[in-house]
Amino acid sequence: MKYIKGLDTLRAFAVIFVILEHWKLPFDFGPAVNSFFKSITPSGTFGVDLFFVLSGFLITSILLNARENNEANKLGIIKNFIIRRALRIFPIYYLIIFCLFIIKYPLLNETIFWHLTYTSNIFFYKTQHWNNFSHTWSLSVEEQFYLIWPWLIVLLNKRYLKFVFIFSILIGIFTTIFTATVLNNNFGYILMPSCMHAFGIGGIYAYLKYDTSIHKSFHKVLKIAFPLALLFHFYLSFSNDSGYINLLSGFFDSIISVMLIHITINIKDGWIKNHIIENKVMMKIGELSYGIYLMHYIMMGIYIKAMTVYLSPANGFRSIALNPYFSYAINLILLFVFSYSSYYLFEKPIMGLKKQFSYSTDESSNEMTVQA
Q: What's the confidence (pLDDT) of residue 361?
A: 44
The count of domains in the chain is: 1
For the chain, the maximum distance between any two Cα atoms, rounded to a whole number of angstroms, is 72
User: Does residue 371 lie within any of the structural domains?
Assistant: no
Please calculate the CA angle 193-122-303 and round it to the nearest 5 degrees. Answer: 120
The Cα–Cα gap between 260 and 50 comes to 9
pLDDT digits (tens, 9 = 90+) for 46-80: 999 999 999 999 999 999 999 998 888 999 999 99
Q: What's the confidence (pLDDT) of residue 314?
A: 83
User: Does residue 366 lie within any of the structural domains?
Assistant: no
Smallest Cα–Cα separation from 62: which of 70, 142, 147, 11? 70
Backbone phi, then psi, for 321, in 5-degree steps? -60, -35
Of the pLDDT bands very low, low, confident and very high (cuts 50, 70, 90), residue 207 is: very high
On the CB side of 219, CA atoms within 13 Å amount to 13
pTM, entire model: 0.94
Instruction: Kindly tell me the sign of the dihedral angle through the C-alpha atoms of 249, 252, 256, 257.
Output: positive
The Cα–Cα gap between 178 and 180 comes to 6
Please calculate the CA angle 128-134-139 and round it to the nearest 5 degrees. Answer: 115
User: Does residue 270 lie within any of the structural domains?
Assistant: yes
User: Does residue 256 lie within any of the structural domains?
Assistant: yes
pLDDT digits (tens, 9 = 90+) for 137-150: 999 999 999 999 99
Smallest Cα–Cα separation from 237: which of 38, 18, 31, 17? 38
Among 275-284, 313-322, 334-343, the range scoring the smallest mean pLDDT is 313-322
The Cα–Cα gap between 171 and 187 comes to 16
Q: What's the confidence (pLDDT) of residue 360?
A: 64
pLDDT digits (tens, 9 = 90+) for 277-313: 999 999 999 999 999 999 999 998 899 989 988 888 8
User: Does residue 364 lie within any of the structural domains?
Assistant: no
Q: Across 82-86, 215-219, 316-320, which has the greatest mean pLDDT?
A: 82-86
Instruction: Kindly tell me the sign of the dihedral angle through the C-alpha atoms of 216, 12, 285, 357.
Output: negative
Average pLDDT over residues 109-125: 95
The Cα–Cα gap between 292 and 286 comes to 9
Backbone phi, then psi, for 110, in 5-degree steps? -70, -20
Residues whose CB is less than 8 angstroms from the CB of residue 46 and which lie 6 or more positions away in sequence, other chains included: 17, 233, 253, 256, 257
CA gyration radius for the chain? 21
Domain that holds residue 189: 5-357
User: Does residue 370 lie within any of the structural domains?
Assistant: no
Of the pLDDT bands very low, low, confident and very high (cuts 50, 70, 90), residue 367 is: low
Written as one letter, the residue type at 308 is T
User: Does residue 13 lie within any of the structural domains?
Assistant: yes
User: Does residue 247 lie within any of the structural domains?
Assistant: yes
pLDDT digits (tens, 9 = 90+) for 238-276: 876 666 778 899 999 999 999 999 999 999 999 999 999
Mean pLDDT for the chain? 91
